[in-house]
Structure 1
Amino acid sequence: MPTVPENALVWCEIPVSNLADAMVFYATVLDWELTLDETGPNPVAFFPMTESSVAGHLYPGKPGKGAGPTVHLAVPDTAEAAAARAEAAGGTRVMGPITIPAGQFIYILDPDGNSVGLFEAA
């Protein structure tokens, strides 16, 4: 089995109590431009994606309050810088950095209590 599974994750969804506020939080922390899509039965905010990337979206729903799964998201710079942005934007740093051969990550809770790993590749 390879060290990093190829395409092990195909999609992720993060429930949020306020979609507009969550879009600002994730755009600030990850330096991403999220795309609001209101064409389906519920509005969603898509993470950036390409043809070969794994992505996901935010959606109005009941957040996990730290008891649900953790989604690890790649940061554009360092895990420390992203964690600092998360705290400044209303998130909570939980643990880390934790160094692994592939890089390092820091666990945070977003303002809704969702567990997120901020991953910095080696």
Structure 2
Amino acid sequence: MSFTPDNFTIWMEIPVSDLDKAIRFYNDVFKTDLGRVKDMGPNEFAMFPTKEQGGVAGHLYPGTPSQKGTGPTIHLACPDSLEATMERFAKAGGEVISDPIAIPAGRFAYGIDPDGNSVGMFAS
């Protein structure tokens, strides 16, 4: 029997070299409000919000990112159009490294955040 859960991804963590700078970047790009959490582990981190408590999300944490573009890619939902998100991504200091790519579920583009993390911007 094969393991097939409702959601295979349950959490994601993005390592960043400067938590304040990364919070500003992700807030600006994804039009969100990452909340700082100080009492849930050995380090302070910033959590991505979800509409409902218990939604699949993740956080930014002080850590050592992989070398530029060599780590896993985290795909994040665009708050509006893919093109507008790509524009904010570049303006905020990231590097957009692909044109939009169409797939049956929507469209996405690849980018590298200021810490070198690979980020997919996804719009359905």
Q: TM-score, normalised by structure 2?
A: 0.90
1:31 alignment partner AA: K
Structure 1 residue matching 2:85: 3-state secondary structure: helix
How many Å separate the matches in 1 of 2:11 and 2:36?
17
Query: 1:99 aligns to what?
Result: 102
1:85 alignment partner AA: R
Deviation at 1:53, TM superposition (A): 1.9
Query: 2:60 aligns to what?
Result: 58
Unaligned runs of 5+ residues in structure 1 are none
Query: 1:120 aligns to what?
Result: 123
1:102 alignment partner AA: A
Q: How does 1:49-88 map to 2 (within 5 A)?
A: 49=50, 50-64=52-66, 65-88=68-91
CA shift digits 1:62-112 (9 cap, x unpaired): 112210100000011011111100100000011120000100001000000
How many Å separate the matches in 2 of 1:79 and 1:72?
12
Query: 2:36 aligns to what?
Result: 36
- How many residues align? The count is 117
Percent identity between matched residues is 53
The structure where strand makes up a greater share of residues is: 1
Q: How does 1:20-31 map to 2 (within 5 A)?
A: 20-31=20-31
